[in-house]
Structure 1
């Protein structure tokens, strides 16, 4: 199994420096990860570092709270694409979902998907703040809005990816969107259990140790 090709090699912490991004890209090239995932301000640097390789540049939008205006998220998306991002992981407006403003949540995702076009949009629903019913609803809304992936977590909430939530998401999307698990995935066993559950992408900052564990 080419486990490295499941991995979005990620650094999103507030203290990440330019040197950290350069190192992240170097590691991604060495281990041939699917992508690097960085905050949108670092997209131009990541793009430059990965020039001429197969490693994609993924970025986050409306991160990590999802509570900014749709216009702000759309602008951030446009700028990230202009700077060379090939995949966008957006955070839904969690408060609007919990307020039962489902149409607004769907319209926002659809607007960003329109901006992303034929590139990949992953929708972060931040499962740790949602009830099982809300997880199903959020996943269904993402599919209706034509998202390519539904993703569990930012890694900044009070919990990360859980298998039981992936099961709910998988059922809800009915094969119309792919699944990404992120948040707290640090070892091979956990990674494999998510892949077995149907996840097609793993967001982690522990990609190197996971790959090394597999080689052992």
Structure 2
């Protein structure tokens, strides 16, 4: 897959999800996303009202996403449901939730599935992406997590939050693609730093990338410079 200025935007979910993110950072992200016709933008729940006000009429052409259980996935299912319901009430189009990694590694797949299924139900038909946080998982656990997420009715499985030491790698993406076998979509996030990596992952089946603003600027420039 060759990325160009006309097609790269549809693959990008831009995010402003750092602890010290300011409204100026969010405005910069929003402007970049609108300029390049990105798929979606993600901020923490507290910043959604500002983002909506800043976007104004531009909101109609840009997806809005929210995060649930971010970044550890270890809050209760009830809390995740309430977070999801609030996001839906605020008008988000997509929900990215973090699976309970501890429950998975403790050998309780039923609890992991119930946790995800509850968020899917609370999302009311809006797309839900489950963040596996692959850095903490073995290959066998990554495959198991994909199966659990599919059984719970998700739209995407996603490599990571971007907060763990590592995230998306070609090996992990290939494993996830092989496991899901087209039964859900793939999103890569955490460690995707250049266009070449994006292109290789698209060839493996990735349709969305979670990218921070600074990295997105660099990748977009490389596409523009290449003509």
Same fold, TM exceeding 0.5? Answer: yes
- Cα deviation for residue 52 of structure 1 reads 2.9
**Are residue 12 (structure 1) and residue 17 (structure 2) matched?**
yes
Measure the CA separation in 1 of the matches of 2:179 and 2:205. 13
Match of 2:33 in 1: 28
- Cα deviation for residue 123 of structure 1 reads 0.2
Match of 1:118 in 2: 125
Match of 1:211 in 2: 220
Question: Residues 152-167 of structure 1 correspond to what in structure 2 (within 5 A)?
Answer: 152-167=159-174
Measure the CA separation in 1 of the matches of 2:32 and 2:178. 35
Question: Residues 176-191 of structure 1 correspond to what in structure 2 (within 5 A)?
Answer: 176-191=183-198
- Cα deviation for residue 47 of structure 1 reads 2.5
List per-residue Cα deviations over 1:76-114 (Å, max 9, x = no partner).
111111112111100000000001110010011011001
TM-score, L = length of structure 1: 0.96
Higher relative contact order (CA 8 A, sep 6+): 2
Aligned residues, how many?
Answer: 216
**Are residue 195 (structure 1) and residue 195 (structure 2) matched?**
no
Contact (CA 8 Å) 1:11, 1:37: kept in 2 or not? Answer: yes
SS at match of 2:57: coil
- Cα deviation for residue 14 of structure 1 reads 0.2
**Which of residues 50, 64, 70 is equivalent to 1:57?**
64
**Which of residues 40, 43, 64 is equivalent to 2:45?**
40
Measure the CA separation in 1 of the matches of 2:52 and 2:157. 24
**Which of residues 71, 79, 86 is equivalent to 1:79?**
86
List per-residue Cα deviations over 1:112-136 (Å, max 9, x = no partner).
0011122110000000000000000
List per-residue Cα deviations over 1:21-59 (Å, max 9, x = no partner).
122111111121111111122122222333433111111
TM-score, L = length of structure 2: 0.92
Gaps of 5+ in 1: none
Measure the CA separation in 1 of the matches of 2:220 and 2:32. 12
Measure the CA separation in 2 of the matches of 1:141 and 1:85. 25
SS at match of 2:206: coil
SS at match of 2:209: strand
Match of 1:143 in 2: 150
Measure the CA separation in 2 of the matches of 1:88 and 1:21. 18
Measure the CA separation in 2 of the matches of 1:46 and 1:171. 37
Aligned-pair Cα RMSD in Å: 1.1
**Which of residues 159, 173, 176 is equivalent to 1:169?**
176
List per-residue Cα deviations over 1:179-206 (Å, max 9, x = no partner).
0000011211111111111100001112
